[in-house]
């Protein structure tokens, strides 16, 4: 039984005018306060055609200050959008902190439509809705306020409205074949919507059901809800009681705290590495050339087939990430890859969720993107140095797994390298750098500071490897005391996985 | 007679190795210094196929640190690129200050190819090259260092090389039908290139002709040129002698200085306005509804035809820009327009040319983009407050005209409104705002400060109107003492121009 909104109570024209006058002033005031807030407001509209989604959004723009609202409506993806994971186009449009973004026909539209028209089965639909719920939770955990309106209209009223629009020459253009096609699937759409509402209703991203049959009623309900919810949230923030990070339970079954590995009695992964592995110079030269040649060939094949590759490099300071990246890069055509060095975020990036700055770098089809440090900073440096709160970095494991699974579903091949060296080897390299004039710039005070926290980083690395190694994107630990050995291992495993990734295509 | 590079001197393998070793260290050192510099390096490669463009770029990536170089190669534009002016895709890839961007087949490739294959006449080709020269000067005036390499290969060597590549099964894939097509037009291509070099060789964006027949020779020449030119520029900057703004002569025939208008004996444009214009409430209500209805219809038509509209609002503080924008916006569907409020640039924007942040907001086809303040800030607030140096704001008039002409060539309809009020009217509105609680936030100390510079702004506005009113993008001065009159004038002229813009389609 689909959920039903409160039935519309007719509002007289006179009452409506008086209420709107007051509401507009309040909305503008709320909007002004919001500009200085540290959270964004994301507004979604769903519901059958004719229920007044477009009209209501237009009214909101008219009543509020259109400079601080941006509305995006999604239809067919552009070719640049199609070449990235499905959610890329929503990420690029997410409002920064302090602003309102209205997204029409965003992430619900596709799944609901596909399920209503039986393109996807219920099980698949449920899986998609669960992914959406996780995505919304990721945003609300970061502080976002998500308002979701489901505009309802009963079947007969919808048909009558579409027909009335068609009769009027001034509004005829608004009724398309697509709308009649949708109207024929009314029952299936309403049922799919009901299931979406049930599975994605959350405290910070709750659904408001609105009866769309009366224009004045629905306008007042939506505007009042917005004013009320945003004001409430601003008040909470002002009182310092922002409900954040309530969902840090995720995955905590697997790792209740950062000391997870320690409690298991071992810093398992790193300790198990055989750090005395080496390769002799003669073998290295031969194998390097072979591995680079193979990688070149495979990546050209990937380019032709539109298969993208994402490579993540993490590792201790002076572990040799840069050298390994250069050996990979020099096997490729400069036009086909990009190295993204990850340093402090820009202010545009700081105004968004921490994953936003990585989404924006996802490449078009067939290219390789190499991250020199990555989103794993959240569970490494941010965890160890306290830049992220415990609830923030704890839930990041699940968020990251979700992020990567979206890349994988899109066909992206992911590789994640932890380049490892022993503490003694690091000291040797630091000292060497200090002595070499042209390498001195590479050594900073921060490197020495990080070194003092070796143990804490070791725990963090171990949790990271445990919690984010998935079948399709496992961590590859690279024994890096011998640079040549490390470079070879990187090139060879990269070739192996790319080759495997291409087989599946 | 096409220009010819110094012929390749063969370099022995032994010499080459020794020189490369040294060069690489120097290149890396230069790159490190560059990271802290306040200018970007833009590297372009042109030349016939087979002359080694791709190979050289790959070598540069191998020799330098690939984290701080980004290479972009241009082939067919994506649909998102096609919907914007031609140069949009280059602007989006321009390197920020401190970095190197290598652009392959960028802005020269199209015109050269079209002229060689006689798609465009010589006169048209020349016009395009002149536009390119202005574009490059705009970048170099802002500090950018542009290095342009023309890789040369004589006809016979080219044929021999393509054939050799084709014979080897390992390199056969590199020779495409397109390359043979180009090879058949060898003479025409070389001739077009020669003309391009002649017309676009400038001190801060000079061409280096490189004989591509010998691989070692050409690699050394390109790498040495890069090292030398970047190092020289870094030294100049370190000594505070950066050659900037040498080209501020542009347009100065029309306005030798900021006091141009004054010397003409009048602040002509603003003084000539009849500021007592009003409209009565009854007429306003009727005409507003009519103008909004018309605008709605026209903009839907524009949307269908893919005609974009760019509307700029400038005006005194409290002149009523916001109110006018809301009347325009409320006539449109929220999905089809966007209001861009222009405030302080973000740090990503500050690392680029001042026009970059406006290029990035150009919309896809068929939408309206409304700028609440705009690129004209360069010749208004930045001029008056001294945020831009005199040579910077003086050359901005020409830069802005060029920018807008690119939009117009792409079919974008541009409207520019200066909303004018008298100084007395402004005072009245400021005082009113102070008294109304819900409007007090609108009034800042800055507003009072700007007011004290009324005369200076008046001169700046007058110069702006004189120097940037073009036939296709004239300034529309709006008498704003009566808000209703101003709103009506904005809506009606917007309708008129949109209607005219659609006629031409």
User: Do the domains B273-503 and B13-238 match in fold?
Assistant: yes
Alpha carbon distance B432, B185 (integer Å):
71
Write the CB contacts of A117 (distance below 8 Å, at least 6 apart in sequence): A185, A188
- DSSP-assigned beta bridge partners for residue B69: B100
Query: Among A8, A34, A283, A42, which residue's Cα sits nearest to residue A151?
Result: A8
- Show the tokens assigned to A222: 């939506």
- DSSP-assigned beta bridge partners for residue B42: B101, B146
Instruction: Establish whether this prediction's ipTM goes over 0.90.
Output: no
Alpha carbon distance B271, B275 (integer Å):
9
Give chain A positions within 8 Å (CB) of B54. 333-335
CB A499 within 8 A of CB A298: yes
A334–B61: do the CB atoms touch at under 8 Å? yes
Alpha carbon distance A85, B405 (integer Å):
36
DSSP letters along A448-477, please? HHHHHTHHHHHHHHHHHHHHH--SSS-EEE
Q: How far is CA A127 from the centre of its chain?
A: 17
CB A467 within 8 A of CB A252: no
Alpha carbon distance B496, B505 (integer Å):
15
Q: Give how far B393 is from chain A: nearest CA, Å.
A: 27
CATH of domain A274-503: 3.40.50.300
pTM summary value: 0.90
**A334, closest residue in chain B (CA to CA):** B58
Q: Give how far A328 is from chain B: nearest CA, Å.
A: 10
B334–A57: do the CB atoms touch at under 8 Å? yes
Domain ranges of chain A: 13-238, 274-503
- Testing the interface with A: which of B88, B334, B438, B443 to mutate, by most A Cβ within 10 A? B334
A71–B326: do the CB atoms touch at under 8 Å? no
- Testing the interface with B: which of A73, A335, A374 to mutate, by most B Cβ within 10 A? A335
Q: Give how far B250 is from chain A: nearest CA, Å.
A: 35
pLDDT tens string, chain B, 505 residues long: the values are 456 788 888 889 999 999 999 999 999 999 999 999 999 999 999 998 888 999 999 999 999 998 889 999 998 999 999 999 999 999 999 999 999 999 999 999 999 999 999 999 999 999 999 999 999 999 999 999 999 999 999 999 999 988 888 888 777 777 788 888 888 899 999 999 999 999 999 888 999 999 999 999 999 999 999 999 999 999 998 887 654 544 444 444 444 444 554 555 555 889 899 999 999 999 999 999 999 999 999 999 999 999 999 999 999 999 999 999 999 999 999 999 999 999 889 999 999 999 999 999 999 999 999 999 999 999 999 999 999 999 999 999 999 999 999 999 999 999 999 999 999 999 999 999 888 766 777 788 888 888 999 999 999 999 999 999 999 999 999 999 999 999 999 999 999 999 999 986 5
Which parts of A278-330 fold into alpha helices (H)? 281-305, 321-329
Task: Assess if CATH 3.40.50.300 describes domain B273-503.
Answer: yes
Chain A positions touching chain B (beta carbons under 8 Å) = 25, 28-29, 32, 54, 57-58, 60-62, 65-68, 70-73, 78-80, 102, 104, 173, 300, 322, 325-326, 329-330, 333-335, 338-341, 346-348, 364, 372, 438, 441
CATH of domain B13-238: 3.40.50.300
DSSP letters along A31-72, please? HHHHTTSSS-EEEEEEE-TTSSHHHHHHHHHHHS-GGGEEEE
B67–A325: do the CB atoms touch at under 8 Å? yes
């Amino acid at each position: 039984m689909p959920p039903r909104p409160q039935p519309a109570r007719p509002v007289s024209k006179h009452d409506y005018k008086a209420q709107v006058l007051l509401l507009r002033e309040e909305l503008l005031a709320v909007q002004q306060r919001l500009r200085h807030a540290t959270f964004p407001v994301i507004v979604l509209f769903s519901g059958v055609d004719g229920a007044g989604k477009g009209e209501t959004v237009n009214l909101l723009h008219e009543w509020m200050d259109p400079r601080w609202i941006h509305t995006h409506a999604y239809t067919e993806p552009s070719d640049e959008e199609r070449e990235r994971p499905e959610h890329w186009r929503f990420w690029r449009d997410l409002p920064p902190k302090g602003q309102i973004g209205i997204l029409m026909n965003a992430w619900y539209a596709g799944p609901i439509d596909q399920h209503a028209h039986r393109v996807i089965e219920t099980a698949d639909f449920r899986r998609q809705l669960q992914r959406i719920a996780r995505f919304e939770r990721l945003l609300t955990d970061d502080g976002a306020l998500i308002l979701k309106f489901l505009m309802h209209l009963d079947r007969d009223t919808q048909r009558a409205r579409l027909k009335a629009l068609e009769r009027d020459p001034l509004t005829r253009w608004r009724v398309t074949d697509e709308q009649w096609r949708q109207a024929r699937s009314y029952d299936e759409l309403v049922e799919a919507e009901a299931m979406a509402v049930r599975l994605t209703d959350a405290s910070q991203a709750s659904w408001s059901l609105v009866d769309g049959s009366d224009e004045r009623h629905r306008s007042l309900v939506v505007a009042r809800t917005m004013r009320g919810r945003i004001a409430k949230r601003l008040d909470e923030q002002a009182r310092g009681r922002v409900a954040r990070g309530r969902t840090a339970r995720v995955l905590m079954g697997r790792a209740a705290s950062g000391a997870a590995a320690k409690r298991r009695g071992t810093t398992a992964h790193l300790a198990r590495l055989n750090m005395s592995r080496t390769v002799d110079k003669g073998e290295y030269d031969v194998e390097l050339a072979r591995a680079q040649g193979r990688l070149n060939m495979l990546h050209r094949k990937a380019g032709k087939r539109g298969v993208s590759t994402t490579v993540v490099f993490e590792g201790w300071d002076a572990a040799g990430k840069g050298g390994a990246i250069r050996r990979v890069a020099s096997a490729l055509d400069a036009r086909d890859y990009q190295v993204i060095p990850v340093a402090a975020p820009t202010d545009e990036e700081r105004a968004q969720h921490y994953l936003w700055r990585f989404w924006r770098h996802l490449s078009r089809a067939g290219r390789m993107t190499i991250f020199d440090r990555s989103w794993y900073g959240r569970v490494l440096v941010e965890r160890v140095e306290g830049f992220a709160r415990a609830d923030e970095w704890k839930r990041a494991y699940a968020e990251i797994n979700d992020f990567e699974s979206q890349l994988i579903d899109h066909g992206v091949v992911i590789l994640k390298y932890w380049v490892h060296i022993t503490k003694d080897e690091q000291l040797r390299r630091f000292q060497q750098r200090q002595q070499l004039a042209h390498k001195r710039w590479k050594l900073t005070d921060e490197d020495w500071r990080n070194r003092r926290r070796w143990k804490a980083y070791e725990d963090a690395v171990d949790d990271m490897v445990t919690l984010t190694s998935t079948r399709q994107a496992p961590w590859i630990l690279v024994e890096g005391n011998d640079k040549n050995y490390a470079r070879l291992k990187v090139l060879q495993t990269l070739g192996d996985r790319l080759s495997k990734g291409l087989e599946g295509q």
